[in-house]
Structure 1
Amino acid sequence: MKTDAVVFGWDVGGAHIKVSMVTASGELLDIAQWACPLWQGLGYLEQVIDHVLDRWPLAREAGARHVVTMTGEMVDLFADRAQGVRVLVDTLAQRLGPSTRFFAGAAGWLAANECADGWCDVASANWLATAQWVASRVSDALLVDIGSTTTDIVPIVAGRVVARGCNDATRLVSGELVYQGVVRTPLCGVSHRIVFRGEQVNVMNEWFATTADVYRLTGELWPAHDQHASADNGPKTEAASRARIARMIGHDARDAGEHEWREFAQTWRSEQMQILAANLARVMEAHPALARAPLVGAGCGRFLVEALAQREGRGFIDFSELVDAPNASLDLPEWMATCAPSVAVALLSLHGVREPTVAWFHSTAAS
Structure 2
Amino acid sequence: MTDRSSENIIGLDLGGANLKFADRHGRARSISFPLWKSWRELEAVLRDAFQQFKPACLIAFTMTGELADCFANAAEGVEYLINTTVAAADGIPVVVWQTSGEFVSPEVGCEFPMLTAAANWMALATWVARALGAGETGLLIDIGSTTTDLIPLADAYACPSGLTDYERLRSGELVYTGGQRTPLCAVSDSVRLDNVEFPLAAELFATMFDVYLILEEIPEDSTDLNTADGRPADIKHARQRLARMVCAGEHQLSQSQLTEMALQFKGSQQELITRQLRLVLKSLTSPPRQIILSGSSEFIGQAVVKSCPELSDVNLLSLPQLLGPELASAACAHALIQLANERV
Q: How does the TM-score come out when normalised to structure 2?
A: 0.90
1:279 alignment counterpart: 276
| Among candidates 67, 76, 83, match of residue 76 of structure 2 | 83
Which amino acid is 1:123 matched to? Answer: A
1:360 alignment counterpart: none
2:317 alignment counterpart: 317
The correspondence of residues 1-367 of structure 1 with structure 2, limited to 5 A, is 5-22=7-24, 28-59=25-56, 64-96=57-89, 97=91, 99-106=93-100, 108-139=102-133, 140-223=137-220, 227=224, 229-289=226-286, 291-312=287-308, 313=312, 314-320=314-320, 333-352=324-343
**Cα gap change, 1:292 to 1:100, in 2 (>3 Å):** closer
- Post-superposition Cα deviations, 1:117-149, rounded to whole Å, max 9, x if no partner, equal 121111101000000001122243211111111
More deviation in 47-56 or 85-94? 47-56
3-state SS of paired residue (1:231): coil
Q: Which runs of 5+ in 1 are unaligned?
A: 23-27, 324-332, 354-367
CA shift for structure 1 position 228 = 5.2
**Cα gap change, 1:224 to 1:101, in 2 (>3 Å):** farther
CA shift for structure 1 position 295 = 2.3
Identity across matched positions, percent: 29
More deviation in 225-234 or 339-348? 225-234
More deviation in 294-303 or 209-218? 294-303
Which amino acid is 1:180 matched to? Answer: T
Alpha-carbon distance between aligned partners in 2 of 1:181 and 1:247, rounded to the nearest angstrom = 21
Which amino acid is 1:350 matched to? Answer: N
- Post-superposition Cα deviations, 1:228-277, rounded to whole Å, max 9, x if no partner, equal 52212223221111111111012221122223312221111011000010
Contact 1:68–1:103, Cα closer than 8 Å, also in 2:
yes
Count of residues paired in the alignment? 333
- Post-superposition Cα deviations, 1:61-111, rounded to whole Å, max 9, x if no partner, equal xxx211001001110111110011111111111221362000013262111
Alpha-carbon distance between aligned partners in 2 of 1:197 and 1:273, rounded to the nearest angstrom = 23
Alpha-carbon distance between aligned partners in 2 of 1:56 and 1:209, rounded to the nearest angstrom = 36
Contact 2:222–2:232, Cα closer than 8 Å, also in 1:
no
Which amino acid is 1:340 matched to? Answer: A
Which amino acid is 1:169 matched to? Answer: Y
CA shift for structure 1 position 52 = 1.2
Alpha-carbon distance between aligned partners in 2 of 1:138 and 1:262, rounded to the nearest angstrom = 40
Alpha-carbon distance between aligned partners in 2 of 1:239 and 1:103, rounded to the nearest angstrom = 42
CA shift for structure 1 position 292 = 4.4
**Cα gap change, 1:271 to 1:304, in 2 (>3 Å):** same
CA shift for structure 1 position 51 = 3.3
Alpha-carbon distance between aligned partners in 2 of 1:156 and 1:179, rounded to the nearest angstrom = 20
3-state SS of paired residue (2:339): helix
Which amino acid is 1:129 matched to? Answer: A
Contact 2:213–2:235, Cα closer than 8 Å, also in 1:
yes
Alpha-carbon distance between aligned partners in 2 of 1:5 and 1:72, rounded to the nearest angstrom = 28
Alpha-carbon distance between aligned partners in 1 of 2:339 and 2:94, rounded to the nearest angstrom = 14
Contact 1:3–1:65, Cα closer than 8 Å, also in 2:
no
Contact 2:20–2:333, Cα closer than 8 Å, also in 1:
yes
Alpha-carbon distance between aligned partners in 2 of 1:343 and 1:95, rounded to the nearest angstrom = 20
Contact 1:318–1:337, Cα closer than 8 Å, also in 2:
no
Alpha-carbon distance between aligned partners in 1 of 2:213 and 2:108, rounded to the nearest angstrom = 44
